[in-house]
Amino acid sequence: MERPMTTAATEAPLRLPVAGGELVATLWRADAAGTPVVAVHGITANHRSFSPLAVRVDGPLLAVDLRGRGGSRALPGPFGLEQHAEDVAAAMTAAGIERAIVVGHSMGAYVAVRLAAAHPERVASLVLVDGGLPLRPAPAGEERSPEEVLGPAIDRLRMTFPSRDAYRDFWREHPAFGPYWSAAIEEYVDYDLVPVDAHAEVDAGLRPSANPDAVVANLVELDGRGGYAEALESLEVPAVLLRSPRGLFDEAPGLYDDEWLATWRSRLPELEVRDIPGTNHYTILLGAGVDAVADAVAEAARAAGAPAQQGEGR
C-alpha cells in the first residue's frame, strides 16, 4: 500500500571508525522514537539509494557507504562479505545503535545475512530486498569470469565523464533506470560521481565511485561459497525476502526465477517471500517498490515489540 512520507526526515552526515579508516554514512531522523533501521546497499551502489526509504520509516535510519564504494572508496581491503558485516557492526556501535532492523538491497542483503549470523544479538529482523539467496550457478561448461558476468557494470566503473549531466544521460539510457527516472534516482546518480584526480591542476573529469577490485571480490561470493550458504541456513532471526519480477536490465525473470526460489524455500522454510509487482532490481528500492520495503520494516518493528510511532504530518 502507499505510505505517506514523514515531514521531518532530518539527516546528519557521519564518518564512523572501522578497521583501516572510516565509513562515510548518513543518519536520518536520529531522534525518532521508532525501532532503528540499518541499511546496506548493493554491489556497485552507495548509501544514497536509501534516501527514499529513510523518509518512509518511523525510526532512525543509518546507511553506510561500504568499503570500496562511495565516500568509503579509499578504504583498503579485504572487501569480502564478512569484512563488510564487521564494518557495519562497528558502524552501528559508533552510531550508538545496539540493535536494529537490517535492510539489505542486492549484495547488501548478503552482508545483512553475514551480520545476523555473526552478531544475532544486534539484528532484530532482516528485510532482504531482491538479494541474499545464493545466485543460480551457471551450467557446467558455461562458467564466466566476474568481469563477463558484470559486463556493462564493470565497464561503467572504468569510464570517465566530463560532467554530472553526462553521467545522468548515461543512466537515462539504462533500461532499468531511464523509464522510471525520478528526483531520487538523480540524487543517487549524482552522489556516485567522484573526481578522477582530486589533486590534478587540470580537470580530468569524473568517474563512478565504486572500486572495481572491490566489486569483483564480492561478486564471486554471491554463489554461496565460503560458508555463506551455511550461515544463511543457520539464521536465528526473522527474515523476509522481497523479490522483484524483473532484473538488472528490466528483464524477466528477475534475479531469482521461480524454480531457483523454490529450491531455496525448501531449505529455508522459515523465510517469508513476497513478490513486489511492477518493479525491477533497482526500482524495488528507488522507485515503485519502496513503499513495500517500508511496510516490511514497519511489520518487523511491530514483531520486535516496538510498534512504529506515527510520523509527523501523517
pLDDT tens string 145-202: 666 666 677 889 999 999 999 999 999 999 999 999 999 999 999 999 999 987 766 5
C-alpha to C-alpha distance for 191 and 69, rounded to whole angstroms: 11
Cell triple for residue 16? 564512523
pLDDT per residue as tens digits for the range 36-75: 999 999 999 999 999 999 999 999 999 999 999 999 999 9
C-alpha to C-alpha distance for 232 and 216, rounded to whole angstroms: 22
In angstroms, the Cα distances linking 167 to 52, 240, 258, 294, 306 are 21, 34, 35, 29, 42
Q: Show the DSSP H helices in 127-209 as ranges.
A: 146-150, 152-157, 164-172, 183-191
Quick one: which of 42, 9, 43, 22 has its CA closest to 95? Answer: 22
Q: Is residue 39 part of a domain?
A: yes
C-alpha to C-alpha distance for 187 and 313, rounded to whole angstroms: 24
Strand order in the sheet with 100-105: 11-18, 21-28, 61-64, 37-40, 100-105, 123-129, 239-243, 272-275
Quick one: which of 117, 126, 119, 122 has its CA closest to 39? Answer: 126
Band (pLDDT 50/70/90 cuts) for residue 312 is very low
Over residues 246-255, the mean pLDDT reads: 94
Q: Is residue 5 part of a domain?
A: no
What is the domain-level CATH number for residue 91? 3.40.50.1820
Q: How far apart are the first and last CA of the chain?
A: 14
Q: Is residue 232 part of a domain?
A: yes
pLDDT on residue 248: 92
Global confidence as pTM: 0.93
C-alpha triplet 23, 126, 313: angle, nearest 5°: 80
Q: Is residue 251 part of a domain?
A: yes
Can you name the residues that pair with 275 across neighbouring β-strands?
A: 243
Amino acid at 187: E
CB 29 within 8 A of CB 9: yes
Over residues 194-223, the mean pLDDT reads: 89
CB 57 within 8 A of CB 37: yes
Report which DSSP code applies to 215. Answer: H
More confident residue, 37 or 2: 37
Can you name the residues that pair with 149 across neighbouring β-strands?
A: none
Q: Identify the domain containing residue 284 by its residue range.
A: 11-136+211-303
Quick one: which of 56, 57, 64, 51 has its CA closest to 112? Answer: 64
Q: Is residue 274 part of a domain?
A: yes
Q: Is residue 56 part of a domain?
A: yes
pLDDT on residue 68: 98
Band (pLDDT 50/70/90 cuts) for residue 308 is very low
- Total tally of structural domains belonging to the chain: 1
Q: Is residue 91 part of a domain?
A: yes
Q: Residues 304, 310, 311, 314: is their CA dihedral positive or negative?
A: positive
Over residues 198-207, the mean pLDDT reads: 78
Band (pLDDT 50/70/90 cuts) for residue 288 is very high
**Pairing between strand 100-105 and 123-129?**
parallel
Q: Is residue 35 part of a domain?
A: yes
